[in-house]
């Protein structure tokens, strides 16, 4: 370049600058746009791979889910077989009397039965019946009765339990309690 004339040097320098500018323009307009597109495509591929992995996991668990659904359906059918049906008042009284046999609880009074819409859980497909009962028991025996009753009948609840001292008939009855409670049971759905 030392033997070139100053005009020739300016031309070569101008050509180098123009060529550098054109290359820089091509880089920023084409290549960097392509690189951004490749980065976006890479993100999209990663998201799709994650989605595919999740879908495969779900499909692998489908057999287990099907087994669990079958078991839950069988359990529900067994519970429905034991639910109140037919003459609801007689059914409830017979169940409570039979259950009371194994507990030290005296239940001489059964109130009226009220059948209605389910208030235990919203939008639940079962109807319910409510029966008011009253009697006497010692505190511990009554607590055991309530716990065992709700464990024995998972579709029943005891609500509005009221306790007060029982009338004294004998000295041993000093610790006896009078109770009133509502027993709420779900009714077996009709198979029509």
pLDDT score, position 171? 59
pLDDT of residue 173: 62
pLDDT at 62: 82
Determine the pLDDT at residue 181: 93
CATH hierarchy code of domain 88-187: 3.30.70.60
Region of residue 41 (left: phi > 0; alpha: psi -120 to 50; beta: else): alpha
b/e string for 51-77 if b means 16 or more Cβ within 10 A?
eeeeeeeeeeeeeeeeeeeeeeeeeee
pLDDT, position 145: 93
Residue 17 is predicted with a pLDDT of: 85
- Residues in the chain where the model's pLDDT stays below 70: 1-2, 119-121, 168-173, 189-192
**What pLDDT does 72 receive?**
87
Q: Where are the domains of the chain?
A: 1-81, 88-187
- The predicted-structure confidence for 130-160, as pLDDT tens digits, reads as follows 899 999 998 899 999 999 999 988 888 899 9
Residue 192 has a pLDDT of: 40
């Amino acid at each position: 370049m030392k033997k070139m004339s100053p005009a020739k040097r300016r031309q070569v320098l101008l050509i180098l600058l123009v060529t550098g500018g054109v290359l820089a323009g091509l880089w920023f307009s084409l290549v960097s746009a392509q690189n951004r597109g490749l980065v976006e495509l890479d993100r999209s591929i990663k998201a799709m791979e994650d989605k595919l992995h999740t879908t495969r996991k779900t499909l692998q668990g489908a057999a287990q889910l099907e087994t669990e659904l079958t078991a839950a359906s069988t359990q529900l059918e067994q519970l429905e077989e034991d639910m109140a049906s037919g003459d609801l008042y007689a059914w409830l009284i017979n169940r409570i009397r039979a259950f009371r046999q194994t507990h030290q609880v005296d239940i001489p009074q059964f109130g009226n039965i009220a059948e209605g819409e389910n208030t235990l859980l919203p939008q639940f497909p079962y109807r319910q019946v409510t029966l008011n009962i009253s009697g006497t028991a010692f505190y511990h025996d009554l607590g055991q009765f309530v716990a065992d009753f709700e464990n024995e009948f998972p579709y029943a609840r005891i609500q509005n339990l009221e306790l007060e001292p029982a009338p004294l008939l004998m000295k041993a009855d000093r610790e006896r309690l009078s109770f009133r409670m509502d027993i709420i049971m779900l009714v077996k759905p009709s198979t029509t």
